[in-house]
Each structure stands twice: as C-alpha cells, then as structure tokens.
Amino acid sequence: MMSPVLLVGGSGFVGRSVTARLIEHGHTVTIPTRRLVRPERVARMPKVKWVQGSVHDAPFLADLCRSLGPDGVVINLVGTLHDRPGQPYGEKFKSVHVDLVRQLVEAMTAAGIRRYIHMSALGADSGGPSMYQRSKGDGEQLVRSSGLEWTIFRPSVIFGARDNFINLFSRLASRLPVMPLACSGAKFQPVSVENVAEALVRAIDMPHAVGQSYDLAGPEVWTLAQLVRFAARRAGHARPVVPLPLWVGIVQAYLFELLPGDPLMSRDNIASMRVDNVLPPGSDQVLDTVFGIFPEPLESLSK
C-alpha cells in the first residue's frame, strides 16, 4: 500500500537516501525543515512536500500529524553525535533523542496514526557508557512502550558518498602527515546508507516487522585504525596511523570540545567506543534474511 509518509530528519545524509527510496516505492513524502529549501532542490524532488518549521515545536508537530491522516507513516531519522556533559546526558541529547520521540508519540496518538519507524543506533543502551548511547536507549524505551505499530532500526556506522565519517578522515588525511588516533582498536561494522534506506522503506508494508528491533551492519568488521587507513587511501593520501594512549585521546578530545562547532572527536565519542559497534555473536544478517538486501561492503565506496 502506498502511504503518505512524514519523514522527520529527511534533509540529512540518511534522509536524502530514504526520500529517494520512498519516491521509488510510490509513497508521498512530507519533510519538515527549519530552513527554506533551495528552489533547485525542490525541482529535483517534485513529489516531496517541504514544510518550514521546527519539529521540536509541539503544535507544529501535531499539525503535521493531523494533516498526514491516520493511514500515514512517520519515520524518525533525527539524531546528533555531540553534546555538552550532563547526567545521564546533556540537554541536546535529551531534546533530540528523548523529548522529540515523546512528542512524536503524543502527536501520532492524537492523530490516530499507528505506523512508526524509528532510527536508533547499534549499541543504544539506557545503561551504556556514553551519553549518546544512554539517550538513544531511553528513546528506544519510549518507542517500545508507545502502543504504536513500531519498528526500530539500529545501524552501525553508516557510510556513503556524502557521509560524515569516512569523509572526515579523508579530509584530515589530506592535511596531516600522520593520523594520531585514540581507540584505534575499536571495532565497527559499517553499513551502506542505501542498504539502510531500502530496509526502512520495505519495513513500512511488512506486518512481521511491527514490534521488532533490527541491528543493521555490513558484511565486514573493521577496526577504527583500518577505517582511517581506508579513508586516507580513498582520498589519495596514504597516511600512517599513530595509536594514542587512552588518556592522551581523552585530553585531545577535551581540547577539541573547546573549539567552535562540533568537535572532531569528543570524550563522549571515546566513551561510546568502549563497546564494539558490531553485530552480537550469532546474530543474523537481517539485511539479507529479513529484507532480502545484499549487504554492500565498504570497498564499494572506492569504485
């Protein structure tokens, strides 16, 4: 069934791919955005309705859900990687990963909308070592207790042509003669943005996906050092990786946090890397077994 979809966070990296897949599958898409969309972008996506406003404004969110109708689907991709220290997490994490989820559940319930697709993260855990993981875990708990027809996706680090992970290290490799790196042995299982987007869209009309949580990962496990070397090679600037002791990495991250804008690496990022970001032992590769999607390897980026 082709459903009207409210795509919260649709203007970001993952959102662009999800939007394209939704259109391919015949859905109509509404994307809230704080800033006016450039005319050329509107022209490229004529089947998308852009609505200016903040999803953190409860009346605006309620209006969006009412206009969607009870047959609509809400997909929430909103997330952030950085925040100031707080307990159990900072105000930004609380606003983005917890409060927004609560407001979405309330708006959907009031509008009679049932189907909800939620983007979380592999390693999300209300008792996790980082603020990011704890806030994502608390967001998941709100979804599970919502009474909605929910599906949760928990991807490892997501890669793609415009990602903010591999491309960050590619840019650094073009400027630095060596790559100093804390937590160089931390493990990840990078997953393609196109694979993630396709799984989210297919889940809309899969009754057996309701009430399920899916860990999404690619076919291979990489250490952080291997990922950085890959990014450097892809940029054409092979660089040696210099592992840093944990305490040096924490000091480095603290100094990064003092700079304007989002830090290259925060102390909370380092705390997250205390837990390997990979599929649990014995887990199925659900991209294949549940969604019928071939998991793309990271090397597909270099083609």
Residue 227 has pLDDT above 90, yes or no: yes
Assess if residue 230 is contained within a domain. Answer: no
Averaged confidence pLDDT in the chain: 92
Q: How do residues 274-302 score in pLDDT, each as one tens digit?
A: 999 999 988 989 999 999 999 999 999 86
Residue 202 burial (10 A CB sphere; 0-12, 13-18, 19+): middle
Assess if residue 181 is contained within a domain. Answer: no
Query: Which has the higher per-residue pLDDT, 268 or 44?
Result: 268
Assess if residue 259 is contained within a domain. Answer: no
Q: How do residues 242-282 score in pLDDT, each as one tens digit?
A: 998 888 989 988 888 887 778 888 999 999 999 999 999 88
Assess if residue 213 is contained within a domain. Answer: yes
Query: What percent of the chain stands above pLDDT 90?
Result: 72
Q: How do residues 1-31 score in pLDDT, each as one tens digit?
A: 688 999 999 988 999 999 999 999 999 999 9
The pLDDT, as a whole number, for residue 39 is 54
Assess if residue 225 is contained within a domain. Answer: no
We report the CATH number of the domain holding residue 86 as: 3.40.50.720
The pLDDT, as a whole number, for residue 110 is 97
**Per-position b or e across 46-62, b if 16+ CB within 10 A of its CB:** eebebeeeebeeeebbb
Q: Would strands 179-182 and 158-159 be described as parallel, antiparallel, or unpaired? A: unpaired
Residue 81 burial (10 A CB sphere; 0-12, 13-18, 19+): middle
User: How many distinct structural domains can be found in the chain?
Assistant: 1
Residue 235 has pLDDT above 90, yes or no: no
Assess if residue 99 is contained within a domain. Answer: yes
Query: What percent of the chain stands above pLDDT 70?
Result: 96
Assess if residue 149 is contained within a domain. Answer: yes
- Give the alpha-carbon dihedral of 24, 26, 28, 31, to 10 degrees: -20
The pLDDT, as a whole number, for residue 295 is 96
Q: How far is it, in rounded angstroms, from Cα 56 to Cα 146?
A: 18
Q: How far is it, in rounded angstroms, from Cα 225 to Cα 229?
A: 6
* Cα 45 → chain centroid: 22
Q: How do residues 86-139 score in pLDDT, each as one tens digit?
A: 999 999 999 999 999 999 999 999 999 999 999 999 999 999 999 999 999 999
Task: Give the range among 29-38, 66-75, 137-146 with minimum mean pLDDT.
Answer: 29-38
Q: How far is it, in rounded angstroms, from Cα 97 to Cα 226?
A: 30
Global pTM reads: 0.93
Domain that holds residue 23: 4-160+191-217+279-295
Q: How far is it, in rounded angstroms, from Cα 67 to Cα 121?
A: 29
The pLDDT, as a whole number, for residue 46 is 67
Assess if residue 125 is contained within a domain. Answer: yes
Strand (E) or helix (H) holding 109: helix 100-111
Q: How do residues 173-217 score in pLDDT, each as one tens digit?
A: 888 888 888 999 999 999 999 999 999 999 999 999 999 999 999
